[in-house]
Amino acid sequence: MLNPACLFKNVLTIGALGADARSRRRLAVGMFQANLKRAHRGWSVLANRILGVSPVEVRLGFSPVVTFEYRPGTTDLLVLEQVLLDREYQVDAIDPASVEYIVDLGSNIGVTALFWAQHYPRARMILVEPDPDNFRLLRRNTAAFRNRCVLFNVAVSDRCGEIGFYRSEREYGHSILRTDDCVAELKVRTLTVSDLLAEAGFPRVDLLKMDIEGGEQIVMPTIATWKHAPRYLIAELHPPYDHEAFADHCQSVGLQAERPSGEGFRCNLPFAARAGALG
């Protein structure tokens, strides 16, 4: 039996992000559909038939207001929940004024980019997303601050070339590694971190975020070869790549890895900083 509390989790809170009544209503309905996908696939399919799955455009109540497009019945609003409500990537100990160059590996549909744009107003961003459908929304959702972004429709890897890319039932779960819930395979172009930095012309990296669904076990061992090591690194880790391996790779370039559990953190994502970077 479905738990009503699960179905209505954050429905009103996500709805409140809308800048107008229409946007608030659409976001609330969309969050209900997202909760169904999270809780029960069968009921989710039925709800999608009734409520629809055509892309929806809303206005988010940022300053200034921004246009945001998502796909009902997918995990798109679950990402919005993680980033804007749970504040997964917020590190209070980082001075926002000190962050001018951000690399976002696994940008999905642009929710983290929206967060960076608001939280780090001086920052330019490299946004990397290999999935063509996600990338289309990433481009639309970053249009309001396009002059601050360099977008790459590629996968980050340990070498340039082409690689198999596996689509997951969870739209945020696509990966260069085959997953248990793989629904399709396509070929995507790959670049290394150094290639991305060179093409974008970034002179340094203040903050690098990595959420590439297991690809970190391929990319993180190359950190010593990157054109610029970041001052701060936030990563989502997936087995078999663990915190010990992450800490070792960070240490090789002078970064100290922490298990975020104290002041200055809002989540359990592994975080690393250059010695003295947090004052």
- Per residue in 226-260, pLDDT (tens digit) is 999 999 999 999 889 999 999 999 999 999 998 65
| 34-43 mean pLDDT | 80
List the one residue out of 221, 114, 209, 129 whose CA is nearest residue 167: 129
What would the pLDDT profile of 92-140 be if each residue is shown by its tens digit?
889 999 999 999 999 999 999 999 999 999 999 999 999 999 999 999 9
At residue 4, does pLDDT exceed 90? no
Share of the chain above pLDDT 90, in %: 70
Residue 170's pLDDT is 64
Share of the chain above pLDDT 70, in %: 89
**194, 223 contact by CB (below 8 A):** no
CATH, range 87-279: 3.40.50.150
Residue 196's pLDDT is 98
Confidence tier at 269 by pLDDT (50, 70, 90)? confident
For residue 64, whether the previous peptide bond is cis, meaning omega lies within 30 degrees of 0, is yes
Q: Crossing angle, helix 132-141 and helix 111-119, to 10 degrees?
A: 30
73 in the Ramachandran plot: left (φ > 0), alpha (ψ -120 to 50) or beta? left
Residue 148's pLDDT is 97
- Token pair of 259 as six digits: 């298990």
Would you kindly state where each structural domain of the chain is located, as residue ranges? Answer: 1-83, 87-279
Residue 266's pLDDT is 46
List the one residue out of 15, 57, 7, 54 whose CA is nearest residue 32: 7
* Least confident range of 89-98, 171-180, 202-211: 171-180
- Token pair of 89 as six digits: 């990537």
- Residue 55: half-sphere exposure toward Cβ, Cα within 13 Å: 12
The reported pTM is: 0.91
CB contact set of 241 (below 8 Å; sequence gap of 6+) = 214, 216, 217, 220
- Token pair of 275 as six digits: 């010695």
What would the pLDDT profile of 43-78 be if each residue is shown by its tens digit?
777 777 888 778 999 999 998 999 999 999 999 999
Residue 203's pLDDT is 97
- Token pair of 185 as six digits: 């395979």
